[in-house]
Amino acid sequence: MHIAFFTETFLPKVDGIVTRLTRTIEHLVAAGDEVLVFCPEGAPDNYCGAQVMGIPAVPLPLYPELKLALPRPVVAETIDRFQADVIHVVNPAILGLGGIWLAKTQAIPLVASYHTHLPKYLEHYGLGMLEPLLWELLKAAHNQAGLNLCTSTVMVQELSERGIHNIDLWQRGVDTDAFHPELASAQRRQQLFGPHQEGDPLLLYVGRLSAEKQIESILPVLEALPGSRLALVGDGPHRQQLEKTFAGTATRFVGYLRGEELAGAYASADAFLFPSSTETLGLVLLEAMAAGCPVVAAKRGGIPDIVTDGENGCLYDPDQSDGLLVATRRLLEQEERHQRMRLAARREAERWGWSAATVQLRRYYKQVLEKSLVAPVAE
């Protein structure tokens, strides 16, 4: 198949969407598919055999890491030459709308996928009043697609309730070879968390440092657990505010980590804390679990699809002021339970591979393509 992606987020950015896209592209190319990616400028021209076309873009004012790219005539010309069998629009926004328009005008089967719960982000930026309007815009865009993919069962249900049609589940994936408990080491613990005593709780967060991630709610945990230390891995527009919030605590701002350094960070921590209540899935949770690091996370969005409370991690109600602290204590207070959850977290991650997720996606593409071929006959 010839598959064209339109995405508002791609390399060199680091986040769960980029992880899913890059792993998917790797497996599509390995399966013999031709892949073309349209994304904001800054990415390499080629990724694992896929052609990448960067489109001039401007930073989003509230979130400079995200860039908005306006479709240009060269996009349509490239699609013509590529002869796409399927167009897949990832989180349709400005560039994605161009992909939707091309799919419609050139009668190319269209798939869209929903990865970022933007309506829920608005309240964290003082724009909650715009949520109904944003849902209407999302509904108008997604209902152009022959198939809409969500990454968790909760989001399948919510989008359906919001009036979006033709929805199915795109299963999760994680690289269980790259993320592994064997990468834990005392040296990495020292590098991440600084000098500490044996038995001190070593807490980890990995992801964007942005308002919607609600990272400030980790502060009471640090203040209440004697000897606890926190490593924040990642970067984002909220970093300066977080540095002020956590000033005077045993917190280290590590910045981005990649490859074995990131995998070793997961494996070397005692608990992965993830307070965000806006997640459609949260791939970093699966990475942590694959590395044998049990998770404490908000019982919201797609997270319960991954974390089973009391088995491979601990969930809490983010509406309860002490929920994160209580759940973290529950995870750490008994060494035997903690070790049992480490093993269970790894077992859960081993169920989900990128290969199986991409086989599923190719099957979806073929279904949409076949449906488009028989549609004229039905008319």
Write out the DSSP string of 104-162.
HHTT--EEEEE-B-HHHHGGGGT-GGGHHHHHHHHHHHHTTSSEEEESSHHHHHHHHHT
Q: Please, are residues 165 and 143 in contact by the beta-carbon 8 Å criterion?
A: yes
The confidence score (pLDDT) of residue 255 equals 96
User: 32 by DSSP, 3-state: which?
Assistant: coil
Question: pLDDT tens digits for 89-131?
Answer: 999 888 999 999 999 999 999 999 999 877 676 676 777 788 8
The confidence score (pLDDT) of residue 128 equals 75
Q: In Å, what is the CA distance from 300 to each residue of 21, 181, 220, 304, 335?
A: 24, 27, 20, 7, 27
> Which are the contacts of 336, defined by CB distance < 8 A and separation ≥ 6?
none
Where are the alpha helices (H) located in the chain, listed in sequence order?
A: 16-30, 73-82, 94-105, 118-121, 131-142, 153-161, 186-193, 219-224, 239-245, 259-268, 283-290, 303-306, 323-332, 335-349, 354-378
Q: What element of type H or E holds 298? A: strand 295-298
> Which are the contacts of 279, defined by CB distance < 8 A and separation ≥ 6?
117, 298, 300, 301, 302, 303
Q: What topology does CATH give the domain 181-349?
A: Rossmann fold (3.40.50)
Give the C-alpha separation, 324 to 210, whole Å: 18
Please report, for the chain, the start and end positions of each structural domain, with discontinuous segments joined by +. Answer: 2-173+353-378, 181-349
Q: Span 2-173+353-378: which CATH code? A: 3.40.50.2000
Q: Beta strands 50-55 and 46-47: pairing type?
A: antiparallel
Burial per residue of 78-93, b for 16 or more beta-carbon CB atoms within 10 angstroms, e otherwise: bbeebebbbbbbbbbb
Nearest Cα residue to 75 out of 97, 48, 43, 47: 97
The confidence score (pLDDT) of residue 379 equals 40
Arithmetic mean of pLDDT over the chain? 93
Q: C-alpha angle with apex 50: 5 to 167, nearest 5 degrees?
A: 30
The confidence score (pLDDT) of residue 162 equals 95
> Which are the contacts of 93, defined by CB distance < 8 A and separation ≥ 6?
8, 68
In the chain (379 residues long), the average pLDDT of successive 10-residue segments reads 96 92 97 97 96 91 74 93 97 91 96 84 72 89 97 94 97 96 96 93 96 95 97 95 97 96 98 92 94 96 94 96 96 94 97 95 97 64
The confidence score (pLDDT) of residue 89 equals 98
Same fold, 2-173+353-378 and 181-349: yes
